[in-house]
Structure 1
Amino acid sequence: AQTRLVDAVLEYIQGMSVVRAFHGDKAANQTLNRTIEETEQQNFKLERKRIPYNVLEQIVLRVTAVAAILLSIWFFLQGSMTLFTCLMVVVSAFLVYSELESAGEMFFMLPMIDASIDRVEEIDRAPRMDEGGSVQTPKHCGISFEHVDFSYGERKIIRDVSFTIPEGTTTAIVGPSGSGKTTLTSLMARFWDVDSGAVKLGGIDVKDYALDSLMHNFSMVFQRVYLLNDSIENNIKFGKPDATHEEVVAAAKAARCHDFITALPDGYDTIIGESGATISGGERQRLSIARAMLKDAPIIILDEATANVDPENEAELQEAVKALTAGKTLVMIAHRMKTVQEADQILVLDQGRIVQRGRHAELMQQGGIYADFVCSRRSAESWRIAERKSNEVKAEV
């Protein structure tokens, strides 16, 4: 009940904007109130179960303590007990039984402790990733997938995928939502282990690397940016903890976030709150790009890196990304045509399989999913708002 209460409160707080936008206040309040009432009932139920035992325990302990004191005094008056022993019994009657009372209070915590231990053991029984690899330096930074299958539980995500990303090239991964694009990049960095097949870096299976030595080769910009409740400088330095302030500023300038940082009251020392709650989505994404730039790893993975960037800054940021990725192996998930067209190879994913691969011109001639994707993007980008003389607003292509 307490776990459900915490979940309900967090859901209510985090989803408050959605609740207000869709006038769901009453339903949300009712759900939260039901959870609070359930927790209240469970707590009362637990306390009611404790009352008879507590009363019996208090009676036994109090009566026994008083009896021990009275008997010791009587024995002393009868001459069968010394004064020192009598006083020791009187003092012990308070100390010993108070400890027994505390033990009795803790007794009712045992079911909760038992339930908590069960949950910890359940986590402990979860399958663990094999970390038996060794520290290795790859001879090159090419990546290869060999007949890879992967599932989230029973749900199959990647199906018999094979491809090669040569060192120093740019590979774009496109496809419908849910086709497995982000999962594919996660497998490269071994955030998950494949069900079958192999993912190799420099010709060595990623499972043969120690995790730290593997991650040393990757800089990643995720679609959902997470920032720590710390200063902006420390968030950028997360990519390279021993970096100097000058290096942090250089990375921020390259990622086009220096100007908005210096406009903040405390500049690079500004605390941005949990998950970067005090700055915009585009600013968070640029900070994550600065963090990746500072790490300067040989392989760059960009998961919709420019999705939340302002149109005014997109062109500059594209140039910064080009400078960052010069001579490096770049893997990017993107839907914007500017970033996809210049890739050395494009992998088109659909339902966990690679259905097309090649350069932009080749795929456009083939038709299929990629050509449809490009046409739909061009069509969407050509929409604009125009105003008629009659002040009516219409959408035109």
Structure 2
Amino acid sequence: MLKILQKFFRFSGEENHRRFTLSIILGVVSAFGQALRIPAIYLIIRGVLDKSLDSNTLLLSLAVLVLGVALQILSSGRGTFLQTEAGYTTSADKRMEIAGHLRYLPMGYFNQNSLGEITSVTTNTMELLGDIATRVVLLSTQGILESALITAMLLSFDIRIGAVALLGLLLFLLINRFLQHRASSISAEKIHADSALVSQILEFIRGIAEAKSYNIGPEGNRRLSEAINHSTDTNIRMEFALIPILWLQSWLIKMVGVLIAALSLRFVLDGSMEPATGIVMLIASFILFSALESAGNYSALLRFIDQSVDKAEAILSVPEMDIHGEDRHPASENIELKHVDFSYGSKKVVDDTSLSIPEKSTAAFVGPSGGGKTTLCHLIARFWDVDSGEILLDQTNVKKYSMDSLMSNFSFVFQTVYLFRDTIANNIRFGQPDAPMEQVIAAAKKACCDDFISALPDGYETIIGEGGASLSGGQRQRISIARAIMKDAPIIILDEATANVDPENERELMNAIQALTKEKTILMIAHRLKTVRNADCIFVIDKGKVVQRGTHEELIREEGIYQSFIRSRKEAVGWRLGSGSELTNSEEVCHQADSERP
């Protein structure tokens, strides 16, 4: 028990450790105040039995009783406040620490670890530590301290009764140790089952559109049903495993209380104990283990706290990328890759790639899906570290930049936009939370989204659904562009930014992108030819290599993937239904191929 508590206190941080330590000291004072009831009662009973009760004895007894109650009330109240404050502060601090730590982990970590696992740790696990851990620490320490001090008080009255109480306390701790061992064997499985359940629920919610379209409820989702049933079975088995031991704990301390009462009566009858002492022992037998029973019931959760700390520390122990470079401000945005290799596990995704992108130029990455286009751009922004080779920004390896100073040079517009459940204004000023509204509106106007925002009932203060679910795809994209405009970074990465936009929004979206990318260095990943044909350089990526590079005019005359894409696209769109049932070739449609995917 002590090792688990010490582990939790270290995990909680220096300030919260101090709070917990002070609360335990106050717990000792509270337990001492509780134990003072015994001598106070003894003084009165002895005075009554000896017929020597006088005002001095009454005042002394009352003073001891009042002192004990005052100590108990004051120390218990303050100790409870400190433990509660420490518990919830630990939960909040660790959530923030985990969030900050995740920010500097390589993106590969998130490919290998489920969202449900991380969500479970930052919600269920932290909730357990913030709420239940506080109660467990409070009740387990308080119960043991009270019983230990009352036992010490009984030893001072009668060593025989005190020895029985001490033996009962030791037997309780022995059974409690077995209880924690049993809890340890199943707590890891319970926490794993909880994480798996959260993961499956999140997956079900993310795929709710598909679930609706195929009329599949939770009971029809096999993996979700299995996760729910496994979690239910694990909790039931945990209860069945622990209840017998909890019952044994409770039975033991009650039997020890009965034994103390019986022995006290016997000792009084055979004359080896004063009647006053015997009556006090009878009273003590009822209060000796009252707090200990609650401590025993809650102590089963100590192992869950132990496992929860381990899970949180497992995330915090994942090595961060080396983010402690220098705060650099590049004089130019020239980007260069030299013989870069990168793999996801055993699968090589980027293979000995070298390329150069001058500042204030537009570079487009095209090629087959899975060829490594997005990975290359993410390596440039250092979402991952390369396996070999180097990436230079202004002739300096990106690893020599501090992460914050490096990221200040990049803005991103992704194909899938994530907006937060907050006001539109706060979503736009996400990177600059203190930016004035005038700046927010100016960015929105450049991104061509001021009109539709102003038409909303609450304008810029409209709360949008999580993920931006209440907005159309084009509207979400334009808000993300406004957010990027607010950041005003010199390098813009556009990752399929126009892939899923309907034609009605496309013109406004292209105008927004033009406002964003003016006088910037642009890296774009796209399939639509009209979004890349004006690029200063087009890199054709296949199987992690740059297989072609050049302008649109150069590549269209060169045999290779780029020309093949355009040819196949023209063939795909070069036929239409005629006035009859025959198919006729349409030169007009052929000319439209340039605006389609290459």
Superposed CA RMSD: 3.0
Indicate whether 1:217 and 2:433 are aligned.
no
Identify if the C-alpha distance between structure 1 residues 118 and 239 changes in structure 2 by more than 3 Å, giving closer, same or farther. Answer: closer
Q: State the partner residue of 1:325.
A: 517
Residue 297 of structure 1 aligns to which amino acid in structure 2?
A: A
Does 1:176 find its partner at 2:339? no
1:187 lines up with 2:376 in the alignment: no
Please state if 1:276 is matched with 2:462: no
Distance 1:299 1:292 in 2: 10
SS of equivalent to 1:192: coil
Partner Cα distance (1:374, 1:393) in 2 = 21
CA contact (8 A) 2:447 2:516 kept: no
1:274-332 CA-to-partner distances (Å, cap 9, x unmatched) read 21122222211111111001111111111112223332332333233223322211111
User: Alpha carbons of 1:91 and 1:200: their partners in 2 closer, same or farther (altered >3 Å)?
Assistant: farther
Deviations 1:81-102 (A, max 9, x none): 58589658735842x5233323
* Counterpart residue number, 1:33: 225
Query: Which residue in 2 is equivalent to 1:305?
Result: 497
Give the paired residue count: 394
In the other structure, the counterpart of 1:3 is 195
1:199-210 map, 5 Å: 199-210=391-402
- Note if 1:98 corresponds to 2:98: no
User: Relative to 1, partners in 2 of residues 1:6 and 1:241: Cα closer, same or farther, differing over 3 Å?
Assistant: closer
Matched, 1:252 2:444: yes
Unpaired runs of 5+ residues, structure 1, are none
What is the CA deviation profile of residues 348-397 of structure 1, one whole-angstrom value per residue up to 9, with x for unaligned ones?
1111111101111111111211112233445556677x69689x999986
Contact 1:170 1:331 in 2 (8 A): yes
Stretch moving more, 40-49 or 28-37: 28-37
Q: Within 1, Cα distance between the matches of 2:571 and 2:496?
A: 20
1:142 touches 1:202 (CA, 8 Å); kept in 2? yes
Q: Aligned to 1:358, which of 526, 550, 559?
A: 550
Provide closer, same or farther for how the CA distance between residues 68 and 27 of structure 1 changes in structure 2, counting only shifts above 3 A: closer
Q: Among the aligned pairs, what percent are the same residue?
A: 51
Distance 1:389 1:382, change over 3 A: closer
Aligned 8 A contact 2:474 2:505 in 1 = no
CA distance in 1, matches of 2:252, 2:289: 10
1:12 is the counterpart of 2:182: no
Q: Does 2:321 correspond to 1:129? A: yes
Distance in 2 (CA, whole Å) between partners of 1:156 and 1:250 is 44
Q: Is the 8 A contact 2:366 2:373 kept in 1?
A: yes
Compared CA separation, residues 37 and 312, structure 1 to 2 (3 A): closer
Separation in 2, partners of 1:145, 1:91: 79
Distance 1:69 1:279 in 2: 73
CA change 1:279–1:70 in 2 (3 A) is: farther
Change (3 A) 1:166 1:86: farther
Q: Which amino acid aligns with 1:90?
A: I
Which has the larger strand fraction?
A: 1
Q: 1:121 to 1:243 in 2, by over 3 A?
A: closer
Instruction: Note closer, same or farther for the CA distance 1:354–1:276 as it changes in structure 2 (3 Å cut).
Output: same
Letter in 2 for 1:154: S
Q: Judging changes above 3 Å, is the alpha-carbon distance between structure 1 residues 389 and 236 closer, same or farther for their aligned structure 2 residues?
A: same
Instruction: Please give the alpha-carbon distance, in whole angstroms, between the structure 2 residues aligned to 1:58 and 1:279.
Output: 58
- Give yes or no for the alignment of 1:285 onto 2:483: no
Aligned partner letter, 2:384: W
CA contact (8 A) 1:76 1:83 kept: no
Superposed displacement of residue 206, structure 1: 0.8
The answer on 1:60 being equivalent to 2:252 is yes
Contact kept, 8 Å, 2:413 with 2:497, in 1: the verdict is yes
Structure with the greater relative contact order (CA < 8 A, sep ≥ 6): 1 or 2? Answer: 1
Structure index of larger Rg: 2
Contact 2:481 2:512 in 1 (8 A): no
Equivalent in the alignment of 1:151 = 343
- Distance in 1 between the 2:568 and 2:315 partners? 45
The 1:240/1:36 distance shift into structure 2, 3 A limit, reads: closer
Task: Name stretches of at least 5 consecutive residues in structure 2 with no aligned partner.
Answer: 1-192, 590-598
Residue 71 (structure 1) shift: 4.8
1:264 to 456, 461, 468: 456
Deviations 1:52-108 (CA, angstroms, capped at 9, x unpaired):
2122111111122343355557767868458589658735842x5233323322343
- What is the distance in 1 between the residues matched to 2:203 and 2:417? 20
- Bigger mean CA deviation after superposition, 282-291 or 367-376: 367-376
Alpha-carbon distance in structure 2 between the residues aligned to 1:10 and 1:81: 68
Pick closer, same or farther for the CA change 1:26–1:60 going to 2, 3 Å: closer
Look up the match of 1:370: 562
- The structural deviation recorded for 1:202 is 0.8
CA separation of 1:71 and 1:324: change in aligned 2, threshold 3 A: same
Aligned partners of 1:228 and 1:276 also within 8 Å: yes
